[in-house]
């Protein structure tokens, strides 16, 4: 189980090798994604808080990257954070998410990206539920929900 110190170590010193890689040109990403999904995942944007029904859905299933279909989260790790974005306490595997120090907007945060295709997913914070204490605050448009 990843903890905050593990996330910081990965963000500062280097991420785990990805299970595979997917690379496309910007034109290919634009053609494959909706305008909002492209803006969020490829240009590091953020969707409006509370703009997706994914925030309030808690049925069993798994979530995959909207860009490359890599499994990222299981619904068993999803929780209501009240932030307006889907929140998870742990990725499905340690190597599917990469971490980057993000010092934009005058603050220090840890950005989360798909370790397979480098899609921007959101950020991770140390204020989630135990036992991990992590809150993966994800853009819903960067995820696709799979039924269990």
Q: Which amino acids are annotated catalytic?
A: 137
Cα 110 from Cα 112, distance rounded (Å): 7
- 3-state secondary structure at position 33: coil
Strands of the sheet with 78-79, listed across from one edge: 78-79, 87-88, 135-138, 120-125, 109-114, 97-102
Q: Is the dihedral of CA 16, 20, 25, 31 positive or negative?
A: negative
> Which residue has 């496309």 as its token pair?
24
- 3-state secondary structure at position 134: coil
């Amino acid at each position: 189980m990843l903890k905050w110190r593990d996330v910081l170590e990965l963000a500062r010193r280097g991420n785990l090798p990805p299970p595979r890689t997917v690379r496309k040109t910007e034109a290919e990403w634009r053609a494959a994604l909706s305008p909002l999904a492209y803006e969020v995942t490829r240009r590091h944007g953020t969707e409006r808080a509370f703009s997706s029904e994914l925030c309030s859905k808690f049925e069993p299933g798994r979530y995959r990257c909207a860009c490359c279909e890599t499994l990222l989260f299981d619904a068993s790790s999803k929780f209501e954070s009240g932030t307006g974005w889907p929140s998870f306490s742990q990725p499905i595997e340690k190597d599917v998410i990469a971490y980057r120090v993000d010092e934009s907007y005058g603050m220090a945060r840890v950005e989360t990206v798909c370790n397979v295709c480098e899609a921007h997913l959101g950020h991770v914070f140390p204020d989630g539920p135990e036992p991990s204490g992590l809150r993966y605050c994800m853009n819903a448009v960067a995820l696709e929900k799979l039924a269990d």
